[in-house]
Amino acid sequence: MIGFVVLTASAGGWWMTRSYVGAAPASQAERSSEENSATPAPEPPPVLKIDRNKLVLPGVVEPYESIPVSAKLTANIASLRVRDGRTVSKGQLLCVLDATEIGQQIDSARLIYLQAEETLRRAREQLAAERERERLALATAERELESCRTESQLQLEDCEAELERARRELAPTTRPCTRQRRCPRMT
């Protein structure tokens, strides 16, 4: 069976090379029109090489399955570690990316982070100062309230003492009224 395949392939190759060699333009006019035409002449098919143990034929090998490869970030490629069309394995280093742009992005992100930290620190300081001011204002208000209470209490006690003294002064002059006598009116 293998012999038949080899014989058929060699016969087909011989026929292809013979038909190509014999296909020359018939006249000088055809040859000059082909040279002046806008489309280039088709390339001749490659010559088949037949060896005793192998058969070499032209063709294109296409993969059964293609897998797209992508990176998690955008950067320029510094060097490729794998040639196009080679078999690769999972985790294999395919290329080295240029770190210049990535470094600039990292530096920019760090600067933004440091600025945010500084803003947060200042906000915390302002919050602590505001709380201290509020605590002092509350303590001052409580002292003033206590002072007013004490002052009001003293004023109330003074008024009550004054009222009691006035009652004592009036007590000997006022006697209970009886029907027989008229009570003096007090105003």
Rounded to whole angstroms, the Cα distance separating 5 from 30 reads: 39
- Write down the residue that tokens 């505001």 correspond to: 130
- Parts of the chain with a pLDDT under 50: 6, 20-34, 187
pLDDT at 101: 84
pLDDT at 131: 95
pLDDT at 174: 57
Rounded to whole angstroms, the Cα distance separating 135 from 108 reads: 41
Q: Measuring CA to CA, which residue among 109, 105, 107, 101 is closest to residue 76?
A: 101
pLDDT at 26: 47
pLDDT at 46: 62
The secondary structure of the chain in percent helix, strand, coil, rounded to multiples of 5, reads: 55, 5, 40
pLDDT at 97: 85
- The residues, any chain, with a CB within 8 Å of residue 10's CB and separated by 6 or more, are 50
Q: Which long-range contacts (CB under 8 A, 24 or more apart) does 55-62 make?
A: 55/5, 55/6, 55/9, 57/9
Residues 46-57 pLDDT 10s? 666 666 777 777
pLDDT at 117: 97
pLDDT at 25: 46
Residues 98-121 pLDDT 10s? 888 888 889 999 999 999 999 999
Measure the CA dihedral 85/57/44/27, to 10°. Answer: -170
